[in-house]
Structure 1
Amino acid sequence: MSFKKLIEPLKDAVQRKGFTAPLPFQKKILSKIKGGISMFAIAPEGFGKTTTIVISTIQKLKGKAFEDAPRVLIFVKDKQAALDLESEFHGYTQGTDLRVYCAYDEKNIDDQRDEIYNGTDIVIATPKRLNKIFYLNGINLNKLQMCIIEDAGFIFRDSNLAEVTRTPESIGKCQYLIFAEKFDTRFERWLDSFMFNAEIIKS
């Protein structure tokens, strides 16, 4: 997919960033993501994975806020990763009314539950905090269109794998996108469950 096919606000943002065409790995996966395919996108750092997450999410949501329940959930490893990704989104959401929210462990959970309840389109969250909020009935996952993991190597530390694997049990039909530097064989259990039709795309 070329940047010419992006919605206008996103096209403008890409031009402001100085990008004239997708990187080779982005060219491989952007059109597939737009087509709704679930995938494991495997590439080293510097191949445009984070930018792909941002562009694909905004394009999928057509740059428009809608109702209160989030339509995209993005798992990240920690607070700093959440804030960094939020900042990256803000560089591309100018001209849209999309609402981006970060949920991480260091913030008061009751405040987070209330803020999410007030309405958001994209939630960036650490796995443990997302599940705590969910079990407090603080987030509605029924409207999710995309569930994404950024830099997915972190899920094999602590209890993140169990926390992430639990989430699809509460989601209906959804597109899953896993971004990582390498394909870990432990991902294969997801291919046998909620990602059984997923493609593995490597750089």
Structure 2
Amino acid sequence: MTWSDKFKLKKGLIQSLNEAGFAAPKEIQQKTLARINGGQDIIAVGPEGCGKTTTYVLATLNKFNYMPDGVPKVLILVPDKEKVEAVTAKIDQLNKNKTLSVVPLFATPGYEAQMDAMADGADIVVATPDRARAIYLKLGLDLNKIELLVIDDADLIVKQGLQLPVTELADSISRCQHLVFTEVLHERLNKMTAPFMKQPAVIEVEEIGQPQFNTLPQILYLLPNFGTKVNLLNLFMQDEDVFTKVVLFVNTRPTAEKIYKSLNGRSSIAALLNSWHFEMDSFTSLEEFKNSATRMLIVVNDGEQQLDLTDIPFLIHFELPIEKETYIQRMISDSQDVENETIAITFATDIELTTVKKIEQATGQKIALGELPGDLIIEKERKAAASSEEKVARATADDDTRGGAFHEKKASNAKTYNYRAGLKAKMNKKKKH
């Protein structure tokens, strides 16, 4: 398929694509461009590098005739300054209409320069949600003629807690087409887009390559919040026959302390690796933990640590490390003893799914989704989370408050343990350790 087929792109755009080396449309462009040109709302889900940015830049530039009028017709919302600059550069690369004015808006000391740029005329605005909202409230951003609202890296926008600035801007636009691009689609993102998107087409592109190496068996548990993660961990550790030895990875010392106190409330079943508090049980090495009666060792994620994790029945990532390479290195398996192979379990919330997707792309393997136990207590989101969302709406440009709520599953839909037969057999084998 070539760019001239069915997409109805202007000749100047097709020429720019050929000059930039884009010989043929990628899968996401093949599936979305015709729908976008037809005026449909789109939610496009695809991994990094699949062509999402090029897709909406083409849709944006295709809207303009030779002489634009200097009033914003397209508003593109992205999570941070770096992405604003990347999108602006992509527009410059493909745009041959030099009368077109593109104005970037992002957090910077003062508003005067950006207000002046908007006053000089803007056809396309590329902005972070908080700064776009701040300029709008100062009457510097005219939304009356917006025809296209694009939200890119929507999963990262949700992770940063910027849902309300997005929905507030969307509600202030009387009528337009909406395009949402994201690496993952989850409940919090759906909650953000539902008020302004009308029957969007959800288009998903999956690009997972061939496995590069052997990995440990992995299970992913999708959980709503920190409290429910703690509840599931406690539930697992009640099974003394299966969870005989566990190494648990967390990202921060405060998290490690909370889990330590939670697990050791009944009896001393957990210890820390190289504890920073003398009153907490501690080991100085993995070998010391393996030879002890303690069932869990809590480790704060550190990519520089080289840990010998052999002969540990279970690795649990309570939180995913910041660098995906740290996780992947732990998952590489050279063991030929399948029966006694370590099982890796990951707890993830909606906002951690982006990292999960990046890991799957890098390893070339999907992580199996585990079903939650029927007796797992699902913690409600605290009311403070909702009030913090309201603060974002009232605050100035650079607030970073997390929002969104998880809806508890009905009792009739609650799941009991339902491991795949192979994994169940492996977990039963752990009892002999």
TM-score range, shorter chain: over 0.9
Q: Aligned residue for 1:195?
A: 197
When structure 1 is superposed on structure 2, of 19-28 and 124-133 the one drifting more is: 19-28
Please give the residue correspondences for 1:1-203 in structure 2 after superposition, counting only pairs within 5 Å.
2-4=2-4, 5-62=8-65, 64-190=66-192, 192-203=194-205
Q: Give distance in 1, aligned partners of 2:76 and 2:64.
A: 14
> What do you get for the CA RMSD once the two structures are aligned?
1.7
Letter paired with 2:46: A
- % identical equivalent positions: 33
More helix by share: 1
Tell whether the 8 Å contact from 2:101 to 2:122 is kept in structure 1 after alignment: yes
Number of paired residues? 202
Q: Give distance in 1, aligned partners of 2:97 and 2:117.
A: 23
Tell whether the 8 Å contact from 1:9 to 1:96 is kept in structure 2 after alignment: no
Q: Give distance in 1, aligned partners of 2:106 and 2:193.
A: 28
Query: What 5-or-longer segments of structure 1 have no aligned partner?
Result: none
Q: Give distance in 2, aligned partners of 1:24 and 1:160.
A: 29
Decide which structure has the larger Cα Rg and report it. Answer: 2
Structure 2 CA distance for partners of 1:39 and 1:53, relative to 1, 3 Å = same
| TM-score scaled by length of structure 2 | 0.45
Letter paired with 2:85: L
Tell whether the 8 Å contact from 1:41 to 1:202 is kept in structure 2 after alignment: yes
Shift of 1:187: 2.8
Q: Which runs of 4+ in 1 moved over 6 A?
A: none
Structure 2 CA distance for partners of 1:90 and 1:144, relative to 1, 3 Å = same
Letter paired with 1:150: D
Letter paired with 1:199: A
Shift of 1:35: 0.6
Structure 2 CA distance for partners of 1:150 and 1:139, relative to 1, 3 Å = same
Tell whether the 8 Å contact from 1:30 to 1:52 is kept in structure 2 after alignment: yes
| TM-score scaled by length of structure 1 | 0.93
Higher relative contact order (CA 8 A, sep 6+): 1
Deviation per CA, 1:132-177, whole angstroms, max 9, x where unpaired?
1001011110000000011111222343111111112210110110
Q: Give distance in 2, aligned partners of 1:200 and 1:192.
A: 13
Structure 2 CA distance for partners of 1:11 and 1:132, relative to 1, 3 Å = same
